Chain A
Amino acid sequence: MKKYILKKLALSVVTLLLIIFILFLLMELMPGSPFNNPKLTPEQKEALIRSYGLDKPVLQRYFLYLGNMLKGDFGISYSLSINTPVLTLIRSRLPVSMGIGVSAMLVGSAAGLAIGFLAAFHQGKAADVICMIVSVIGISVPSYIFAIALSYFVGFRWNWLPLLYDFRSPVISSVMPVLSLSVMVMSVIARFTRDEAIAVMKSDYVMFARSQGISNRTLLFHYVIRNSIMQVITVMTLLLVGLLTGSLVTEQIFSIPGIGFLLSSAITVNDYNVVITLSFLYAAIYVVARLFLDILYGIIDPRVRLGGNER
């Protein structure tokens, strides 16, 4: 098991190093410079490029960046927020994105699990059809459509909730973003839960339990939920990663100061350090999530770990 974890860990580190290198190359190929103020003279621009070390070769900058990164220094912003450490910019935004992402995950998961099990237990009946229609709509309609609809009706027409995220009232102003993001989560989880629950309910051991006269409730909590939840957790983890890394459009609609907003702004003005650090953060979250799932599978299912040759 230790060898398996180490192998996966090493692979993750190499992946991240490669990602940073590719990011450096892409940044190098991007036209323009981070110093976009038309009022800067060419001499001033050159002085800024020199003072920030951007005149050095890309490989040298790559290794310098890696060295600084190991010390926890991700550089400073060149143009978005002049001279502000990138970590400061991320530190204030990540909790907002995470707060909204995790809330959307919790609300969406709770609703999705309930709808999924309800549909599974009433398979083929009206409740199942309604639940699945709701879930298909939730999956196929992008979350920003719900965001716009909520914003228009709940925020503008009826004036029930604030239209925009406001740091003076963060909880109330997060309700609409959370709801709009949770629709997709709810729909995906409802579908997975329903399919897994139906598969479990058709298995021999559940059929046997049912034939023994075990009540539906006991059947649900003792057999169906326990055995179908594993696949659902996998989906939930990947959905959570997507939500944590921010939803750019939803952030724009509700004016949320999250990291999605930060990345899109940084790309447009060539703020290299911000783009590289955020892209690295996104990649790291995905890599860590995959690593977590790989290890979890390895623990739960030894066949995955042994790969058939360490038997």
Chain B
Amino acid sequence: MSFSFTDEQTEFRSILRRFLADKSPTTEVRRLMETEDGYDPDIWRQLSQDLGVMAIHIPEEYGGQGFGFVELAIVLEEMGRSLLCAPYFSTVVLAATAILNAGDEDQKRALLPPIAAGETRAALAFTEENGRWDTGGAAMTATAVDGGYQLDGVKSYVLDGHTADLIVVLARAPGSTGDDGLSFFTVAGDADGMGRRRLQGVDDTRKLARLEFKGVQAQLLGSEGGAAAPLARTLDQAVACLANEMVGGAEALREQALDYAQLRMQFGRTIASFQTMKHKSADMLIDVELAKSAAYYAAAAADGDHDGDEELGAMASLAKAGAAETYMQTAIHTIQIHGGIGFTWDNDTHLWFKRAKSSEVFLGDPSYHRELMLQRWQG
């Protein structure tokens, strides 16, 4: 188990950080969050062609770069830091990982190269209106019809579901329950019978959609009835990735709060010279560093740099619970340190505050993950 990044990984991080600082300043974040699609196709192309980040954890035989989750986590931490508005988490973390875990060889060869090349934006539709993050929440039915399948039901809280070219859908055989009868399917974004609506989100930097399926033709992905295990694995990996994205945002907030405290004068001194500010800042540093350590550890576990899947599950949940508490708390402190101006629309803090809030809940809140973690705890 490694507890440090290699020189190459550190260099990769600094290239990304420079790119994102240049391409995703808060003026751009504010512009894109007001749009329906929520991303800039030109930046998406550059991310793919100049930095190759769509391909990062996809194996080389499927057109990828063949790196692992540690490198993917670096990308996410930097994107979380800059609040990049792009369908990256949906396409690369959720959909591509689901295809990798669930697809057969031919499907992976067909579906992954266009994602790795930045040509296909994809989404994973597994949650429904009950808001459950586990397999048991899926009620959408897949009915076999002359050699294919037909999907009926509603998916909700689908990240970038309204813009994706390709949608990976979780559905079940009629009459099945729990983990049984669950299968993955793929559907084109413009498939007949699918109604897509963007949901009004608290966090406009990350778009959610509701997808209504009425007799939508779909192709089976992987084995029929075999989606539960690859979904669980995909979620563990995605949760580890989300934790890394969150600590990137938390660190950005921590630094902004410190910068502001160093500048703001009250009572003839910078507020940074008051012990109450110094202690709060020290506590914020501790919170963020602890959450980073757990997020890094979970990313390494997602690469199998530990004792197997059960370990990954517990570690991913631990990292997500820690990152969620830290991100939210850091956002609250950052607004407080800014005082009145921190509550205004013009101040940028609320952009991260809202990302912290949506990330706290997305893929399961801290209480959910703490329970999951104990169920899977090995040591």
Asked if chains A and B come from one complex, the reply is: no
Chain B residues with a Cβ under 8 A of chain A: none
Residues of A within 8 A of B (CB): none
